[in-house]
Amino acid sequence: MTETLKLSMEGIVKRFGGVVALDHVDFELRRGEVMALVGDNGAGKSTLIKTLAGAHMADEGVMRLDGEPVRFTSPQDAWSRGVATIFQELALAGKMTIADNIFLGREITRSVAGIPFLDRRAMHRRSRELLEELDVHVPDIHTWVEYLSGGQRQGVAIARALNIDADVIVMDEPTAALAVAEVRKVLEFIKTLRRQGKSVILISHNVQDVFEVSDRITVLRRGQRIGLLETQKTTPEEVVGYITGAAETKRRPVAAG
Ligand SMILES: Nc1ncnc2c1ncn2[C@@H]1O[C@H](COP(=O)(O)OP(=O)(O)O)[C@@H](O)[C@H]1O
Ligand SMILES: [Mg+2]
């Protein structure tokens, strides 16, 4: 079944001094699936996706993209290979417009008499298309990002990932700071991405959200993967049991592949 895997990590170890943040973690992501990544604070979720995204280097282990071993040297490197990570901090430029953020670092230029100019019109058009695709409503494409709501900012960050045509989109706690209506919106973004055939990794501490959008759930606890569950075949209670460690004694083998 390896051919259905978009991305996999095998035996990943990441240490910070004496702290073993990831202890031989295996992780996998199929094409077109939403994989939830859950676990208590400090379980290693952010470290795992930072390692996946090239923000950290693993001390041990291998990662494969479309079956080929890869080693990303930076998040930009990962983006260039179609793996876009939206970190908790979002990394948007507040004092820049929506369109400028979507095109940050990959501006469209056109040449007039041999001199390159930014093609603002093309960038604005494409930005509007991307936001429309996601059903993100913003007052004006020229608005500074710092004036947007948390949900709108998530939308801009996802539009940026779509703009580079990422086929893996990783989101670290995208709904953590949002009001209820905006959470709905972000969950809809995730469903839209899946409909487009993208693979999504969603880190969330909200079990209800996880059950609404995920196909499978990876549970980390103290730096180890202690569960890989099919969302349809488990319950919120069981997932919480894995997160807290209550399920550890009656642990069942993980369903791989
Ligand atoms: N840059 C770092 N330096 C030192 N320790 C870190 C660093 N990042 C994470 N850790 C430690 O690694 C463990 C996992 O953290 P993290 O991946 O942030 O957990 P989670 O995202 O699941 O809450 C924690 O013990 C945390 O303190
Ligand atoms: Mg975290």
**103 domain residue, yes or no:** yes
Residue nearest to ligand 1 atom 27, measured at CA: 42
**19 domain residue, yes or no:** yes
3-state secondary structure (DSSP) of residue 69: strand
**147 domain residue, yes or no:** yes
**pLDDT for residue 94:** 85
**pLDDT for residue 253:** 54
Which residues have CB under 6 Å of ligand 1?
Answer: 16, 19, 21, 39, 41-47
**206 domain residue, yes or no:** yes
What's the gap in Å between 102 CA and the centre of ligand 2?
24
Number of domains in the chain: 1
Residue 64 is part of which domain span?
A: 2-250
**pLDDT for residue 43:** 96
Tokens of 220: 């980390």
Residue nearest to ligand 1 atom 9, measured at CA: 47
* pLDDT by 10s per residue, the chain, length 257: 456 799 999 999 999 999 999 999 999 999 999 999 999 999 999 999 999 999 999 999 999 999 999 999 998 899 899 999 988 766 788 898 999 888 887 778 888 888 888 888 888 999 999 888 888 888 888 999 899 888 888 888 888 888 888 999 999 988 887 778 788 888 998 999 999 999 999 999 899 999 999 999 999 999 999 999 999 999 999 999 999 988 765 555 555 55
Q: Which of 15, 16, 224 has the most ligand 1 atoms within 8 A of CB, as the residue to mutate?
A: 16
Which H or E run contains 193? Answer: helix 180-195
**pLDDT for residue 210:** 96
**241 domain residue, yes or no:** yes
Q: Kindly report the CATH number assigned to the domain that includes residue 38.
A: 3.40.50.300
Residue nearest to ligand 1 atom 24, measured at CA: 42
**pLDDT for residue 117:** 85
What's the gap in Å between 2 CA and the centre of ligand 1?
30
**256 domain residue, yes or no:** no
**255 domain residue, yes or no:** no
**pLDDT for residue 251:** 52
- In sequence order, what are the residues at sequence separation of 6 or more whose Cβ sits closer than 8 angstroms to the Cβ of residue 115? none
Q: Which of 47, 205, 222 has the most ligand 1 atoms within 8 A of CB, as the residue to mutate?
A: 47
Residue nearest to ligand 1 atom 8, measured at CA: 47
